[in-house]
Amino acid sequence: MVPKDNVCVSVGASQALYIALQTLLNPGDEVILFQPFFDLYVNQIKLAGGTPVFCDALKFDETSNSWNFDAKTFDTSISPRTKVVILNSPHNPTGKVFSRLEMSQIATSIAAHEVQRVTVLSDEVYKFIVHSKQGDGDGEGDGEGDGGHIHFATIPNMADRTITISSAGKTFSATGWQVGWAVGPAHLIKNMQALMPYVQFCASTVMQEAVGKAIEEAAKNNYYDQLNSEVSEVN
């Protein structure tokens, strides 16, 4: 991973989402949202000229008191106009953590129905707030914490079409710092980098420096195990 090519630093994760949608969508393109969802998504999609498609693939099971993913419902939500799928895991507002199996089902449907190239916006701002057993995410159950957080970009054949969005605000409980980032393949990130100066020249350099120090300290002290690998990849 090369920071200049694969990372776009933004004013919070919200701006990363906005810039990504602006660069990906043309009028009439459809964006699949799993209901319920973070309300910010809808108007950001509309501002980019897209059409939100509300997918009921998340089903609440009162018996197990958990949210389950219905792959067939998601599959039927895909159309020739589908351009983006927004995946939020850990999920706001349900708290659901998608398993590797469920993410693989999403990937399979995207590949099977694709008419135009579909991009996945993987909103992972809550990835360090997982109240479940941590593991490799290979569980075959309903996905509710059967293996902890999984990066969607690690699903086979998905890295080249996934923009992963995260935030220092959620990671370090420093929302007011307003530093977020998008990580992905160069052919997607370069478009975000090109648009960014026309929306906000850059995130505060002071806050970027502070976040950089926080990440280094967190990795050094093993506060967040995943940061060790992420910092190593960027360096």
As averages over each run of 10 residues, the pLDDT of the chain (235 residues) reads: 85 94 96 95 97 96 90 96 96 92 96 86 87 46 54 95 91 81 95 92 83 82 57 41
What is the predicted pLDDT for the residue at 53? 98
> Do residues 212 and 204 touch, judged by C-beta distance below 8 A?
no
Compute the CA torsion angle 90, 178, 200, 92 (nearest 10 deg): 20
Burial degree of 37 (CB within 10 A; 0-12, 13-18, 19+): buried
Distance CA 132, CA 134 (A): 6
What is the predicted pLDDT for the residue at 225? 59
Q: Which stretches of the chain are assigned E, i.e. beta strand?
A: 7-10, 30-34, 51-55, 58-61, 66-69, 82-88, 119-123, 162-167, 180-183
Compute the CA torsion angle 43, 44, 47, 48 (nearest 10 deg): -140
Compute the CA torsion angle 140, 143, 147, 151 (nearest 10 deg): 110
What is the predicted pLDDT for the residue at 131? 61
What is the predicted pLDDT for the residue at 45? 98
Integer-rounded Cα radius of gyration of the chain: 17
Q: Nearest 5 degrees, angle CA 33-CA 25-CA 9?
A: 85
Residue 54: domain span? 3-234
192: left (phi over 0), alpha (psi -120 to 50) or beta: alpha
What is the predicted pLDDT for the residue at 233? 44
CATH code for the domain of 198: 3.40.640.10
> Do residues 179 and 208 touch, judged by C-beta distance below 8 A?
yes
45: left (phi over 0), alpha (psi -120 to 50) or beta: alpha
**pTM to 2 decimals?**
0.85
Tally of structural domains, the chain:
1
